[in-house]
């Protein structure tokens, strides 16, 4: 009841993003088409959410995530025949193109000119051909729908709408929540309209006429930010939005002593299927699966391969014998 009230309050107070109707239309058609064809559908969330401090946003708080986990995992789901709704932070990594973006070398470094034409360097041919073929197959079958968000509120509106559209799929729907979601935010009715001023002479001008004190404001020379908790919508997802789906959440921690405890706590509290725990500094080569079925299971990329990026939870995707395969887990070059 309290969770339902928190949901009602949140969505009544935080306006939906402008592109929500367009996203919903696309998602409805995509999910309906694949469900009719008997294909399994997964929602992969990826990247960090922001918390704007001003309505006309100049300053915001961000959650760490490049989108590597989500983008890479989406590729594995696609390779295993799933249709993927990829709900990602705008400009974070995308499936397939991630191999050639966001790193220190430009994508142009993979190419050269040959007799007035652009060609891919010989050393990159095989890998690029593999990626291109996988991308082309996903595109040909129209199995990848890319939606984006920036703020926590945009993320939550999209998550709720897509979850409701996936509800009729029952247990053949998967939610794979790799996005790094803000725990605190500035409610709309406590947000200033304009850029917060640091110069005391201009302070009053930036303030919104509101009964409540602004959540982010300058006092003297200090910036005071007084955030409120974001309701834990995992509870609503599991109990209300998609009660029959398989739900996989991620847990990010920095303190090794807390990781498994917090993952177990989340599993008990939300009663979903799987929590995948990872630590900030080791997330590229080790994760821990915490589930009711298997308890605690660590998956590690062998030390000899750790120069490459750990980039996906391959065995989660469409494979019953995933535990056995994990021991021979292949690190992916990215
Ligand atoms: O993108 P990369 O750079 O590869 O990094 C990947 C990653 C480290 C971001 C990813 O593997 C990861 O751990 N993502 C989850 C980070 C996170 O939000 O953890 P959390 O402990 O704050 O939340 C745990 C779960 O609760 C999440 O699944 C989230 O969907 C849910 N949540 C969080 C906040 C909130 N207000 N409501 C929620 O339901």
Atom of ligand 1 nearest to the CA of 92: 1
Q: Which residue of 51, 184, 247, 250 sits with most ligand 1 atoms within 8 Å of its CB, as the best mutation to test the pocket?
A: 250
Q: pLDDT grade, residue 220 (50/70/90)? A: confident
How far does the centroid of ligand 1 lie from the alpha carbon of residue 288, in Å? 14
Q: Which two tokens stand for residue 218?
A: 């300058």
Lowest mean pLDDT among 60-69, 121-130, 203-212, 317-326: 317-326
Q: Which residues line ligand 1 (CB under 6 A)?
A: 65-69, 177-178, 180-181, 183, 230, 232-234, 249-252, 278, 283
CB-based contact 50:150 (threshold 8 Å): yes
Q: Which domains does the chain have, with CATH numbers?
A: 2-107+131-186+227-326 (3.40.50.10300)
Q: pLDDT grade, residue 203 (50/70/90)? A: low
CB-based contact 187:49 (threshold 8 Å): no
The order of strands in the sheet holding 144-149 is 144-149, 83-89, 41-46, 173-177, 246-253, 274-279, 286-291, 295-300
pLDDT of residue 206: 52
Question: Which residues make beta-bridge pairs with 78?
Answer: none
Q: Over the stretch 155-188, which tens digit does the pLDDT of each residue have?
A: 999 999 999 999 999 999 999 999 999 999 999 9
Residue 211 has pLDDT above 90, yes or no: no
How far does the centroid of ligand 1 lie from the alpha carbon of residue 256, in Å? 16
**Alpha helices of the chain — where are they, by DSSP H?**
2-13, 20-36, 68-79, 122-140, 152-166, 233-236, 256-270, 322-326
How far does the centroid of ligand 1 lie from the alpha carbon of residue 104, in Å? 26
Residue with the smallest CA separation from ligand 1 atom 18 is 180
Atom of ligand 1 nearest to the CA of 181: 18
Strands, E assignment, 135-221: 144-149, 173-177, 184-185, 216-219
pTM recorded for the entire structure: 0.90
pLDDT of residue 333: 34
Residue with the smallest CA separation from ligand 1 atom 16 is 180
Percent helix / strand / coil, the chain, rounded to 5? 40, 25, 35
Short-list 45, 24, 145, 28, CA closest to 87: 45
Residue 12 has pLDDT above 80, yes or no: yes
| Nearest-angstrom CA–CA distance, 181 and 183 | 6
SS3 241: helix
Q: What percent of the chain has pLDDT over 90?
A: 82
For helices 122-140 and 68-79, angle between their N-to-C axes, nearest 10 degrees: 70
CB-based contact 299:287 (threshold 8 Å): yes
Residue with the smallest CA separation from ligand 1 atom 21 is 251
Atom of ligand 1 nearest to the CA of 178: 14
């Amino acid at each position: 009841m309290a969770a339902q009230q928190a949901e009602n309050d949140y969505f009544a107070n935080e306006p939906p993003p402008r592109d929500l109707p367009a996203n919903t239309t696309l998602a409805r058609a995509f999910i309906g088409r694949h469900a009719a064809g008997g294909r399994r559908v997964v929602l992969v969330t990826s990247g960090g959410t922001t918390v704007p401090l001003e309505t006309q946003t100049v300053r915001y708080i961000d959650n760490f995530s490049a989108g590597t986990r989500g983008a890479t995992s989406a590729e594995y789901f696609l390779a295993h025949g799933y249709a993927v709704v990829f709900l990602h932070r705008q400009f974070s990594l995308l499936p397939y193109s991630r191999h050639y973006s966001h790193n220190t070398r430009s994508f142009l470094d993979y190419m050269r000119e040959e007799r007035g034409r652009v060609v891919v360097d010989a050393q990159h041919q095989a890998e690029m051909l593999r990626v291109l073929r996988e991308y082309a197959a996903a595109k040909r079958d129209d199995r990848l729908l890319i939606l984006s968000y920036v703020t926590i509120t945009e993320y939550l509106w999209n998550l709720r709408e897509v979850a409701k559209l996936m509800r009729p799929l029952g247990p053949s729907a998967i939610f794979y929540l790799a996005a790094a979601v803000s725990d605190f935010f500035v409610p709309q009715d406590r947000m200033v309209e304009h850029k917060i001023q640091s110069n005391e002479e201009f302070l009053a001008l930036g303030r919104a006429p509101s009964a409540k004190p602004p959540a982010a404001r300058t006092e003297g020379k200090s910036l005071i930010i007084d955030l409120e908790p974001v309701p834990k919508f995992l509870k609503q997802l599991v109990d209300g939005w998609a009660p029959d789906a398989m739900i996989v959440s991620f847990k990010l921690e920095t303190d090794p002593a807390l990781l498994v405890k917090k993952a177990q706590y989340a599993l008990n509290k939300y009663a979903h299927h799987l929590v995948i725990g990872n630590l900030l500094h080791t997330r590229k080569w080790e994760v821990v699966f915490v589930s009711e079925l298997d308890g605690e299971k660590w998956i590690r990329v062998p030390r000899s391969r750790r120069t490459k990026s750990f980039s996906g939870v391959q065995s989660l995707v469409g494979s019953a014998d995933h535990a056995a395969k994990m021991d021979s887990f292949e690190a992916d070059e990215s």
